[in-house]
Amino acid sequence: MPDRAVVVDSLVVERGGRTVLNNVKLSIPQGTITGLLGPSGCGKTTLMRSIVGTQKVASGTVTVLGSTAGTKELRHKVGYVTQAPSVYRDLTVRDNVRYFAAMYGRGAQSVTSAIEAVGLTEYARSLAGQLSGGQLGRVSLASALVAEPELLVLDEPTVGLDPVLRAELWARFEDIARSGTTLLVSSHVMEEAEHCADLVLMRDGSVLAQLTPDELLKRTGETNLEHAFLTLIRTTQNLENAS
């Protein structure tokens, strides 16, 4: 088993005639939370789609758990939760998760554990259509978790959540990572970086840096992660202008 869950090398992706990922290189350590951070439109979703194998790539390589992204052997090993919750609103929470469990050959105990892991046990018998937006997102997450993936890719899972729910969800992600799952979580809220062991910072289709939150603070001399990211962007721009 490689100690890197994902290795991306020289990745170029074009969408709508534009280069939206430009020579991206990164690696994601196993069993930890890696935060993919950057402003809206910088290419986070495109990079995630490349990792889960649903994005056409122009050149470069994406290796996931030792195999080429998107290949058959990864189907049961990689979970992906998109920004729009994919939930059957006319089914209960439990039946939603049970449906995905059946697809991946998992039993009733896995369904119960996945619902518990996202904190929805008391809503298991509720119709998904009667849940709040944040709860719906967590049903989607439970549906991905029930497959017991080795790599879980979450696209802006905390968007639109209040600070309390956001903190609760990050605590869940930390539990999931502790159980050995690798998580890649995107966000455009820099504060969320503090929950991650490792950060991939993106801007305009490029990776500016891959480092830990502490390294980011040290490198920029800042005490706050949001300021640190802005400082890093400014320093990179100055270097680009000078060259």
Ligand X SMILES: Nc1ncnc2c1ncn2[C@@H]1O[C@H](COP(=O)(O)OP(=O)(O)OP(=O)(O)O)[C@@H](O)[C@H]1O
Residue of minimal Cβ distance to ligand X = 16
For residue 185, the cross-strand partners are 35, 154
Kindly state the smallest distance separating residue 154's Cβ from ligand X, in Å.
12
Is residue 35 a contact point for ligand X (CB under 6 A)?
A: no
Asked if 40 is part of the footprint of ligand X (rule: CB under 6 A), the reply reads yes
CA–CA separation, 165 and 78 (whole Å): 25
| Shortest Å distance, C-beta 223 to ligand X | 26
What angle is formed at CA 153 by the lines to CA 145 and CA 168, rounded to 5 degrees? 65
Closest approach of Cβ 134 to ligand X, in Å?
A: 18
CA distance 219 to 208: 13
Q: How far apart are CA 202 and CA 35, in angstroms?
A: 11
Instruction: Tell whether residue 42 is a contact of ligand X (CB under 6 A).
Output: yes
Angle at 152 between CA 87 and CA 4, to 5 degrees: 165
Residue 223 near ligand X by CB under 6 A? no
Instruction: Tell me the closest approach of the beta carbon of residue 38 to ligand X, in angstroms.
Output: 6
Asked if 243 is part of the footprint of ligand X (rule: CB under 6 A), the reply reads no
| Total of chain residues touching ligand X, rule CB under 6 A | 12
Buried/exposed 102-112: b ≥16 CB within 10 Å, e otherwise: eeeebeeebbb
Candidates 6, 28, 33, 43; binder of ligand X (CB under 6 A) is 43
Tokens standing for residue 139: 């049903």
Is residue 157 part of the contact set for ligand X (CB under 6 A)? no
- What are the backbone dihedrals phi and psi of residue 99, each rounded to the nearest 5 degrees, phi first? -60, -45
Rounded Cα–Cα distance for residues 197 and 214 (Å): 9
Min dist CB 235 to ligand X, Å, is 21
Backbone angles phi, psi at 177, to 5 degrees: -65, -40
Binding segment (CB under 6 A) for ligand X, from list 34-42, 103-111, 139-147, 216-224: 34-42
Among residues 34, 46, 96, 220, the one that binds ligand X under rule CB under 6 A: 46
Going residue by residue from 166 to 195, which x/- string records binding to ligand X, judged by CB under 6 A?
Answer: ----------------------x-------
Distance CA 143, CA 152 (A): 11
Strands 67-68 and 59-64: antiparallel
Does 44 bind ligand X (CB under 6 A)? Our answer is yes
Binding track over 125-144 against ligand X, x by CB under 6 A: --------------------
If one asks whether residue 41 binds ligand X (CB under 6 A), the answer comes out as yes
Which residues make up the interface to ligand X (CB under 6 A)?
15-16, 20, 38, 40-46, 188
